[in-house]
Structure 1
């Protein structure tokens, strides 16, 4: 398996190097040069596989022999053995032919666990094999941070620095990061928003001189291809559990950075019958406007009750645009430069093709809370605010009542008690393994939104 940059001016890499590289040297994102494609018969043959065995089938071609099959299967087995539900990604029915795919059964109660628990094991394997040390610098709008720390804290070959916007994540999200013990874990509360954190992260990849050539900088954000690769699996799993591939499926995906729904797009291209993908956003609706109006225009970031989607610059949208522009790296590179500074309209023909599969919808805080309250009243099922946005978008954009509609349940509602209480409901209790979360000691450093300060902190810490 070879990987190429979306901007066309970086070397082709194989899986191990893509895993350790993150952002391409030309500023682009790595994607497979060619996607594996499965026949309906082959997909059908996977129908009765447990989650970990299905994951091996889907992930193996992306690894391309870089890791022995037995070692890869072992890492996958260990990853999902730690989830709270034996099904790993169970489906909950909320109405006729309407479901929530519960992706919050992992140790940090968010969908990020599916990829980051595996990523930590992959990194440890490859760094040990190469006898190298790595530095993780991550940016999180809430859930990536704790999932990354939980997945990577055990490695003695990694130092982990997680940036999050100070006072802009929920208290449970913050405490899940700041109470994790580990001599190699550093939480950085940045005086800014998620886009500021993400911007500094990308700048670190562009200039790694602060690491003195002695450490490799590694991405845990969804710019890292392995994150997307692992998320493709649960689209196949959900479909197979509802009669796929002999039925089309529709998915509604709460998304801010476009990584989770891009995985669904890949599943479709790999042969899974997907009839509709719905981009569900909050008030920060740049993705909704880009798809529905063919216009990419940045608006000021709004703070909402669904903070994991409080994002303006959606990094993984570039991976979709790469296909929209016929995989022309040079053309996309020019486009991305314009998108940083001005309003952009995309190729009309390419976006028309996108809208054959994609729809989009934006939901504000009031409607989010109304949706939480309504569904709880109808079914007794409690949604977190992000999943509620997905459910509302699914009901507004659904094209066909005969096609199963699956909303990705991205987080456990206990992580967002403010939204639950604003909906007039009682906040759920923390699960057993987190019952003492509010009693645990926190460790974090408040930092200015300053790239030099970040680089200095990392360098002083790892070279102390």
Structure 2
């Protein structure tokens, strides 16, 4: 299988090539030439397999003949060995309709571990096979940076550069990026918001120096990461569908549209999925789009759920390409309009097609805190403020949806103790993985949001290639 650019003016690439690429040469994002489909019998077979095998089988459909070279199977198994729970995300039925899917049992206690841990193994293997080195670029609103830093720490063939917005991640998230003590990981605090960090990564990747520095990206702009995340939607939907016989709806906290797009991929492959509900905080760029059909930038507002403090949802470009009939030129024009005028508008038919598969809802601070209290009172669960947006939307929409609703719990509550204390009057229990975190020394550099400033740090720490 080959992968093409959403903007239609870059060479097609293989899965193996995607491991070392973020954006395409024309600035677009890679998308598969077709969605592989799982038959009913194949889905039935998957339901009886272990999670690592399900993830391997799903990715094999996207890898074709190159599967053995990438060897994701070994990478997934090795990565999951470092999880608190390595048998897949725990699924719990809370009432007659509501389920939880806990995605925070990996090394950094967030859903990003399910993709970044095995992706790092695959990239490391590829660099070893080809006898090359790489510089991994990562823009983060918190969790991606922590997962990237942990996944690449100590690897001999890859350096990792993590860009995070100054003062806009939780203390736990920041220290997970800055306290590793790994010589090959450099955290950089950027004077700006996540969208500035994301723009820097894209500009670095498109720069003349990109080949010289051997940049690769592990944000969700890298499609290999999204494909890895699609596995847990297939895993969960098949298991719950077997229990109730109905399509499974998912409420997914989302800022950059990557995690929920992984659910969309799973649905296109034949997983028994109903609606995908996009939930956000006050930075409601996606709910506004789903309500009005207009993608419009606004100022990013700091919130109690910082991982969703995003106003430029880069991954939606893949969905836009689908809505535009896989027309690269039309997609490029819309993205150009967004960059220059901070807005574009879907046609009525495109908007209708979008809302056939998706719904969306904003959840402000008061609703999130109230939901955290409600979930704790009803089910004895302490949840993070991001997951609270999912539970809020699920509760608001449950009467309109047929079948079970699964809330993707995207992070452990201990990563956001201030919000938990404000909601419940008590701090969450500290997991073993975080017990000594605040005793460790931090190492990071703060810069202005310019390519030159970031390059200066990279050269100063790792040297000029």
- TM range, smaller chain: over 0.9
Q: CA deviation at 1:378?
A: 1.2
C-alpha distance in 2, partners of 1:240/1:260?
18
Partner residue, 1:37 = 37
Contact 1:88 1:105 (8 Å CA) reproduced: no
C-alpha distance in 2, partners of 1:119/1:355?
31
Q: What SS is found at the alignment partner of 1:66?
A: helix
Structure 1, unaligned runs of 5 or more: none
Q: CA RMSD in A?
A: 1.5
Partner residue, 1:456 = 456
Partner residue, 1:170 = 170
- TM-score normalised by structure 2 residue count: 0.96
C-alpha distance in 2, partners of 1:34/1:399?
34
| Bigger shift: residues 149-158 or 3-12 | 149-158
Partner residue, 2:56 = 56
Mapping for residues 59-458 of structure 1, pairs under 5 Å: 59-68=59-68, 71-209=71-209, 213-244=211-242, 246-342=245-341, 343-398=343-398, 400=400, 402-458=402-458
Q: CA deviation at 1:319?
A: 0.5
Q: CA deviation at 1:326?
A: 0.1
Q: CA deviation at 1:433?
A: 2.5
Q: What SS is found at the alignment partner of 1:289?
A: helix
Q: CA deviation at 1:70?
A: 9.5
Q: CA deviation at 1:88?
A: 2.5
Contact 1:103 1:411 (8 Å CA) reproduced: yes
Q: What SS is found at the alignment partner of 1:109?
A: coil
Deviation by residue 1:127-148 (Cα, 9 ceiling, x = unmatched): 1111111001111000001101
C-alpha distance in 2, partners of 1:214/1:157?
15
Q: CA deviation at 1:396?
A: 1.4
- CA change 1:188–1:366 in 2 (3 A) is same
Contact 2:161 2:187 (8 Å CA) reproduced: yes
Deviation by residue 1:367-387 (Cα, 9 ceiling, x = unmatched): 100100111011111110000
Q: CA deviation at 1:220?
A: 1.0
Q: CA deviation at 1:397?
A: 2.3
Aligned residues: 462
C-alpha distance in 1, partners of 2:314/2:442?
30
Contact 1:97 1:402 (8 Å CA) reproduced: no
- TM-score normalised by structure 1 residue count: 0.97
Shift >6 Å, 4+ stretches: none
Q: What SS is found at the alignment partner of 2:66?
A: coil
C-alpha distance in 2, partners of 1:87/1:133?
32
C-alpha distance in 2, partners of 1:136/1:227?
13
